[in-house]
Structure 1
Amino acid sequence: MKTNNKPTWLGYLSALKNKGVEAEQLKLTGFDDFFLANDFAQSFLMHSIPFIYLLNYKSGLYINMSENFAGYNAECFLKNGINHTLEIYQQDHLRLFNEEIFPDRLQILENIAFEDHKNHIFSYQSMIKNRNGQHEHFLQRNCFISDEERNPVYSMGILIKINGFGPVIQTVERIDENRARENEVICKKVYYLNKEDQIFSKREKEVLLWMAEGLSSKMIADKLFVSEHTVINHRRSMQHKTNMPNAIALVGFAIKSGII
């Protein structure tokens, strides 16, 4: 199902349904192993109960859903499937997942053997309208069972209620099937609900200009009459906004993008 265009989540679901994948032929295994290997989820068990789900991407129906997620009966999800999720998904968060987060997931999965998809946990934060009409924040952690063409067909995971948060962060972890080692974070990316939040401040651009001249944090601090710690924080903030791994990559990105 590879295309030249970047597929959205909803577009992918529609294409998968029309493709006629026999999802039932896939072996549904690893659900218990996924939860047992999910150390993050287990750390929450003393404080809150995670909600567990299993979603069939081909049919758009939930095979399993915990009771009382966001105040809803499991039947709401089991009967209405993904349509119910779309109704309660906060629209800005839905747009972000549909247009940016899920397409990135597909790109990551393309580079992983299909039988190993279930050993990669994807995490991100979202916002859902609960049964009382109020918005609640949830952390979702899930993995995929995919066909031989590396198309995700089942999504299984957990949802954990959390406090409010800033930018949406997606992480991808490789889990050890034997649970002999800690999960390995192989990818981390920041997303912004509002694009203006990604724009550099005036002071950040000043720091960036001096970075492009090859000045150290200490030298930039002297130029701007601020502390070295402040300069370092500005640099980290800019790397965070652009998902650049280091100062050299940040400057290169800024020049290429015409920011400086």
Structure 2
Amino acid sequence: MNEHLNSGQPSLKKILERYQQSKPGTSLEEYEFLLNRNPLLEKIFIGADCAVAIFDASQTNYLYISYKLEQLLGYSANVYHQGGLCFTLSKIHPDDVMSLLGILEKEISYIADLVPAQRLEYRSSYDYRIQKSNGNYIRVLQRNLVLNLDTADNMLHVLVVLTDITHLKKDHTKILHIINKQDTGFAYLYNLTDQRIIKDTFLSKREKEILKLLGKGYSSKEVADELFISIHTVETHRRNMLEKTNIKDTSCLVHFAILAGF
């Protein structure tokens, strides 16, 4: 396992224990079409460039690993099934371990504070660097969706979708973006300097409006006309969004925003 995970990281053991508070599910029939590696679904995942897994919180392990995930990182499904979450964490870039553990801890606490119905509406995304089987690191965006709860209404199974975004981001900042009906569109930002997570609205309402129109292919002038603001204001917001997200350019920003659910 990654030495950083054995060097007294205070939150790793706590995270594993908190996940394992969930009680194992009694039936996996609803996932049978996935567990049997449905050929059509596997082809769809590959075509959509989606690396998919189903995480079992009670076992801190994976019920399902898609072919695409095997292709993306180069590890067989058996490796994930045998090593579980600890194997995945052992492949995280050493400089990203602390921030990712902080994000996981924040996510678990956030979900625990929701009422059961809200937990099933929870979605999140965050990114990190992970090592492939050939030794190279790539940056992935991980999106999570709670699939079901255990008998005590704790998070049990989580759909995990990984996308390679190595070409999109410029630096190693971390953003935990959370979406649910009660608290939509805010983020936790990991500050690299003092190594702490700060809650932030991240993108303003106006910035999201502009981003949505840019995603539809609008030019700055068309955005300005649509929102009754000046082109200068649009360009200022574009620059601000690039600075906040540390994305290379506007086209990459739109792509990232769509993936992350902004």
Same fold (TM over 0.5): yes
Note closer, same or farther for the CA distance 1:61–1:125 as it changes in structure 2 (3 Å cut). Answer: same
Code of the residue aligned with 1:192 in structure 2: it is: N
Code of the residue aligned with 1:72 in structure 2: it is: Y
Distance 2:15 2:149 in 1: 13
- Cα deviation, 1:158-192, whole Å, max 9, x if unaligned, reads 001112523211111237xxxxxxxx833222213
Note closer, same or farther for the CA distance 1:111–1:76 as it changes in structure 2 (3 Å cut). Answer: same
Partner residue of 2:180 out of 171, 174, 183: 174
137-146 or 123-132: bigger deviation: 137-146
Structure 2 segments unaligned to the other structure (5+ residues)? 1-9, 34-44, 198-232, 246-262
**1:51 counterpart residue number:** 51
**1:185 counterpart residue number:** 184
Taking structure 2 as the reference length, the TM-score comes to 0.55
Distance 2:153 2:14 in 1: 16
69-78 or 184-193: bigger deviation: 184-193
Q: Is the 8 A contact 2:23 2:151 kept in 1?
A: no
- How many residue pairs were aligned? 179
Distance 1:23 1:111 in 2: 21
**2:194 counterpart residue number:** 195
Question: Displacement of 1:65 after TM fit?
Answer: 0.7
Taking structure 1 as the reference length, the TM-score comes to 0.55
Note closer, same or farther for the CA distance 1:135–1:111 as it changes in structure 2 (3 Å cut). Answer: same
Question: Displacement of 1:27 after TM fit?
Answer: 7.9
**1:64 counterpart residue number:** 64
Note closer, same or farther for the CA distance 1:48–1:92 as it changes in structure 2 (3 Å cut). Answer: farther
Give the % identical residues.
Answer: 16
Question: Displacement of 1:92 after TM fit?
Answer: 2.5
Structure 1 segments unaligned to the other structure (5+ residues)? 1-6, 33-44, 176-183, 199-228, 242-260
Q: Which structure would you say has the larger Rg?
A: 1
Question: Displacement of 1:86 after TM fit?
Answer: 2.1
- Cα deviation, 1:179-219, whole Å, max 9, x if unaligned, reads xxxxx833222213443899xxxxxxxxxxxxxxxxxxxxx
Q: Is the 8 A contact 1:143 1:156 kept in 2?
A: yes
Note closer, same or farther for the CA distance 1:10–1:49 as it changes in structure 2 (3 Å cut). Answer: farther
Partner residue of 2:144 out of 137, 142, 145: 142
Within 5 Å, give how 1:12-23 maps onto structure 2. Answer: 12-17=15-20, 19=21, 21-23=22-24
Question: Displacement of 1:62 after TM fit?
Answer: 0.9
Question: Displacement of 1:31 after TM fit?
Answer: 11
Q: Is the 8 A contact 2:132 2:138 kept in 1?
A: yes
- Cα deviation, 1:116-160, whole Å, max 9, x if unaligned, reads 323221101111001110110100000223346553332222001
Give secondary structure in 2 for the equivalent of 1:138.
strand
